[in-house]
A and B are shown apart, each in its own frame.
Chain A
């Protein structure tokens, strides 16, 4: 038995490692995706005033701080009785659209595009965002930077500061939107809408026009027969800020649909001894192991899952993109995990359309953006769709509003089991006896989990700011080869 260890994984936040165990013939015997994740955050917040939590949880992750901020604020709202003026909800949702666009742009252009624009087997020295810009042109690169800046500007204008938002407070938000601020946002919202359509077209031009890529997406080993989870509104259209959690099996049948307060009846977490990260599953089906199939209790919570559980999109142009996507993919729900990248772009169109809708909402600059809570009910659950999956914050507090417990199920955690499974599946398909294990092959294994945009970030930033990568190949208990990148 020999093992290949890729540690840590490149181009995702935080730290993780893959261990691939080969049998004596060189075929993949097993594969583990391990997360030495930081635990203890839930304990750290116990004993603190509950209203502080939305400000603290933004430090869980430097990648999606606003998702934690929003989910936490909703949970805290619940602890204080749940009263929220309609304008506060609108402003929060408006902010969240800009946050989504900001994140999805980065994922598509910096993380996904290198594999498709540059090619999965191109030189790793150019398989990055600079390589993408080289291919698609400096002008487009400039547009990416500009669009990111606009999405950030909108968040800054709404939330009042550029980093570590502290805007959502119990009962609403700490500042409203002035007419002057709205007029600054208006042209940016229009330009972001154009940019999301441009990105969608770029995907079609670059990826869909390449039969090899389409074949890789549809017929490659990157498929999984597990179920889908996502937040939906009353019309079963995706809603990223609020709504009910809908779970649909991979044949399109609804398994369950529940409000945030019922999450613990529907989701439980399994523990394995070899990783710190838990494995959520559908509680009413029970833990059945790392298995695919219609009876499995495993699900994905990803951009593609969100579209898979939706009957429609919430906005017209996104609806067109949604219909086109599933028509080309040939099935809804779609099980081809690399279609995540396309789904992300469809979502971004809805984000931009909802943003524009709020810009044109005559009530958006109103004064009623907060009510002061008058009572403490002691418990609240907040669920939002983080970019990387359904994010749940569940808090309890005592009669003085001091936190007594916190439970978090973060976006990527939902996908922990599917990530394990697809990584193994792809490794088994690509690493075969007698075939040299090359960097492009290992990159294609990484593509399996990069599709999930996994994020294991807690410390958010360490110098030198680049993930080291080590592949150690063992045979017969001996290290026979060590491949190192970014280890200085």
Chain B
């Protein structure tokens, strides 16, 4: 039963394409009419969909942020070898964990931190409920608030596709969101 969903936009809004996840989250927040931030009541986090549209956290700090949620949606950037700017990937933390298991766990990275948090008794989303949407980027090294032209040209296309996919993956969430 998914009662509490957190959507986060990851990245840095001042590093050109690194801000794409934040822009997507801002757009999604407006589209869903969601208030910004995590809403808490006397019993803890309120049921429903919450959004942190700008989140430049990783590892332990990110896990601490998602404590109490059943589902996490991450909107982020990614740069893979031979990746095409504007293409996007969708995977869950299960895939992330597979990736991690290929090599040594050597850092308090997200997968390690998730595992640690669970062992410590935190209420964290199952790996299958950590949904990552990652857009291939061109430039994350230049200080700028605007995206690269190649990314900007494709923004409408990939944002619509991601939101459509998200609607397909999370119909219940979006229904909840619409009710807020």
Measuring CB to CB, which residues of chain A are less than 8 angstroms from any residue of chain B? 10-11, 38, 40-41, 43-44, 56, 59, 62, 65, 106, 110-111, 124-125, 127-130, 133, 138, 141-142, 144-145, 148-149, 152, 161-164, 458-467, 469, 485-488
Q: Which 8 A-B pairs have the closest CB atoms?
A: A44-B143, A460-B56, A466-B109, A110-B108, A62-B56, A486-B103, A465-B110, A461-B58
Cβ of B134: which chain A residues have Cβ within 8 Å of it? 463
Q: Is the CB of B79 within 8 A of A129?
A: no
Minimum distance in angstroms from B145 CB to a CB of chain A:
9
Minimum distance in angstroms from A381 CB to a CB of chain B:
22
Cβ of B76: which chain A residues have Cβ within 8 Å of it? 461, 463
Which of A43, A130, A458, A486 lies in contact with B116, CB distance below 8 A? A130
Q: With A59-B56, A128-B107, A461-B10 as known contacts, state yes or no: A43 contacts B143, CB within 8 Å.
A: yes
> What would 14 more interface pairs be, CB under 8 Å, given A59-B56, A463-B76, A466-B109?
A11-B108, A41-B14, A56-B14, A124-B104, A129-B112, A130-B105, A138-B119, A141-B119, A163-B54, A164-B56, A463-B77, A463-B134, A486-B103, A487-B103
Q: With A485-B103, A486-B106 as known contacts, state yes or no: A133 contacts B116, CB within 8 Å.
A: yes
Residue of B nearest to A106 (CB): B60
Cβ of A486: which chain B residues have Cβ within 8 Å of it? 103-104, 106
Q: Is the CB of A11 within 8 A of B141?
A: no
Minimum distance in angstroms from B171 CB to a CB of chain A:
26
Q: Is B12 an interface residue (CB 8 A)?
A: yes
A152 to B60, CA, bound (A): 12
Q: Is the CB of B122 within 8 A of A145?
A: yes
Cβ of B64: which chain A residues have Cβ within 8 Å of it? 145, 148-149, 152
Cβ of A129: which chain B residues have Cβ within 8 Å of it? 108, 112, 116
Which of A148, A161, A163, A487 lies in contact with B56, CB distance below 8 A? A163
Q: Is the CB of B106 within 8 A of A485?
A: yes
Minimum distance in angstroms from B58 CB to a CB of chain A:
4
Cβ of B14: which chain A residues have Cβ within 8 Å of it? 41, 44, 56, 59
Residue of A nearest to B63 (CB): A145
Q: Is the CB of A110 within 8 A of B60?
A: yes
Which of A129, A133, A164 gathers most chain B CB within 10 Å? Answer: A129
Residues of B45-60 at the interface with A, using a CB-CB cut-off of 8 Å, are 52, 54-60
Minimum distance in angstroms from A59 CB to a CB of chain B:
5
Q: Is the CB of B104 within 8 A of A459?
A: no
Minimum distance in angstroms from A127 CB to a CB of chain B:
7
Q: Is B129 an interface residue (CB 8 A)?
A: no
The bracket for how many chain B residues form the interface is 35 or more
Q: Is the CB of A162 within 8 A of B38?
A: yes
Minimum distance in angstroms from B4 CB to a CB of chain A:
16
Minimum distance in angstroms from B81 CB to a CB of chain A:
9
Residue pairs across A and B with Cβ atoms less than 8 A apart, 24 shown, are A11-B108, A40-B143, A59-B12, A62-B61, A65-B56, A110-B108, A129-B108, A133-B119, A145-B64, A145-B116, A149-B64, A149-B67, A162-B65, A163-B57, A163-B65, A164-B54, A460-B12, A461-B11, A461-B12, A462-B77, A464-B99, A465-B59, A465-B96, A485-B104
A149 to B61, CA, bound (A): 9
Residue of B nearest to A131 (CB): B105
Residue of A nearest to B96 (CB): A464
Cβ of B116: which chain A residues have Cβ within 8 Å of it? 129-130, 133, 141, 145
Which of A10, A65, A163 gathers most chain B CB within 10 Å? Answer: A163
Residues of B113-155 at the interface with A, using a CB-CB cut-off of 8 Å, are 115-117, 119-122, 132, 134, 140-144
Which of B54, B59, B132 lies in contact with A463, CB distance below 8 A? B132
A463 to B91, CA, bound (A): 12
A19 to B180, CA, bound (A): 55
Cβ of B15: which chain A residues have Cβ within 8 Å of it? 38, 59, 458-459
Q: Is the CB of B141 within 8 A of A38?
A: yes
